[in-house]
Amino acid sequence: MPKLASYNGKVDSIENIKVSPMSRAFLFSDSVYEVISFYKNKFIDFETHLDRLKHSLNETKISCSIEECKTEIVKLLNESKFEDGYIYYQVSRGVDSIRSHFAEESDCERFGFIEEFSFFNQSPLKVMLVDDIRWQRCDIKSTSLLGNVLQMNDAKSVGCNEILMHKNGELTEGGASNIFFVKNKTIFTPELSPNILPGITRHQVIKIIKDQKLNFEEGSYGIDDLKEASSIWFTSTTKGILGVEEIVNLETKINTECELLEICKNAFVKRYFS
């Protein structure tokens, strides 16, 4: 079945959507995006995703009505027959008449598609520790993901399905996820900064950790912390909470049967997927 997509408010099969090569998304990656999951036809934390989209639009000074985005995302879900899945939705600064870094005064350009997806039974991750070579505003959910793409494809070539990034030895996040680790029965995660995306799932997991009254710390951590960690988790809208089974280029003490991971996973499924 062809994928259903939305382009500037019009829903159609993805093959029928025509995008100009003068789109600033195509030429400059001058665009921001969201990935929003739905389960049993209902969005998960929709308003929080819209707030983050608004933050990305504000920080990049892309002018676009968030209400219009909301209407288009809802329409895409309503017109699909999928029960469980996610919507990818991006907003670019617009389509220009000439290629120039200096943008013209044009209307924003909006594109999204819907994908069926099952959130359960995902396998533990095999990851590679890599240098974080990205720009200095990773808190903006920009489609400019070349730093992530290059490192993730290197990792894929050695059999990995995620990367774990560090900036000068300080842990930041995954290529498409946030990270948590357990050491001495405490759960740790890198604190929010311009170097990491404020993940919606990260936020959900922190709420669960606090509700469950588990030992928890947010701060600045290094590679030595990983070496001592008994468990490492990645979180994202499509992964939920997923454990790591191996870091291919680092010797660790990971034990895949982590009680704290099970507590958080069970509470997460109960809260968002039941």
What residues between 181 and 220 interact with ligand PLP by CB under 6 A? Answer: 197, 199-202
Site string for ligand PLP, 229-248 (x = CB under 6 A): ------xxx-----------
Inter-residue contact 138 to 197 (CB < 8 Å): yes
Identify which of residues 60 and 95 has a Cβ nearer to ligand PLP in the complex: 60
Which CB sits closer to ligand PLP, 57 or 176?
A: 176
Of 96, 111, 173, 195, the one binding ligand PLP by CB under 6 A? 173
Residue number, 17 or 35, with CB nearest to ligand PLP: 35
Helices and strands of the chain, counted as H and E runs: 7, 14
Residue 37: CB minimum distance to ligand PLP, A: 8
Nearer CB in complex with ligand PLP: 126/203: 203
Q: Which one of residues 35, 66, 103, 214 is an interface residue with ligand PLP (CB under 6 A)?
A: 35
Give SS3 for 204: helix
Least distance CB 156 / ligand PLP (angstroms): 16
Within 13 Å, how many C-alpha atoms sit on residue 238's CB side? Answer: 12
* Closer of 63 and 203 to ligand PLP (Cβ): 203
Encoding tokens for residue 155?
Answer: 């990792």
State the minimum distance, in angstroms, from the CB of residue 264 to ligand PLP: 14
CB of 86 to ligand PLP, least distance (A): 9
Give the tokens for residue 19.
Answer: 């995008």
DSSP state of 104: P
Alpha-carbon distance of 156 to 252, in angstroms, equals 20
Instruction: Tell whether residue 176 is a contact of ligand PLP (CB under 6 A).
Output: yes
The candidate with the shortest Cα–Cα distance to 268, out of 215, 182, 208, 227, is 208
Q: Are 18 and 28 in contact (CB under 8 A)?
A: no
> Which is nearer to ligand PLP, 242 or 258 (by Cβ)?
242
SS (H, E, C) 143-192: CCCHHHHHHHHHHHCCCCCEEEEEECCEEEEECCCEEEEEECCEEEEECC
* Closer CB to ligand PLP, 52 or 94, in the complex: 52
In the bound complex, what is the minimum distance in angstroms from residue 16's beta carbon to ligand PLP? Answer: 27
Q: Is residue 178 involved in binding ligand PLP (CB under 6 A)?
A: yes
Q: Residue 78: CB partners within 8 Å, gap ≥ 6?
A: none
Token pair recorded at residue 152: 């993730």
Please report, as residue ranges, which positions from 67 to 106 form the binding site for ligand PLP (by CB under 6 A).
none
Judged by the rule CB under 6 A, the positions of this chain that interact with ligand PLP are 35, 173, 176-178, 197, 199-202, 235-237
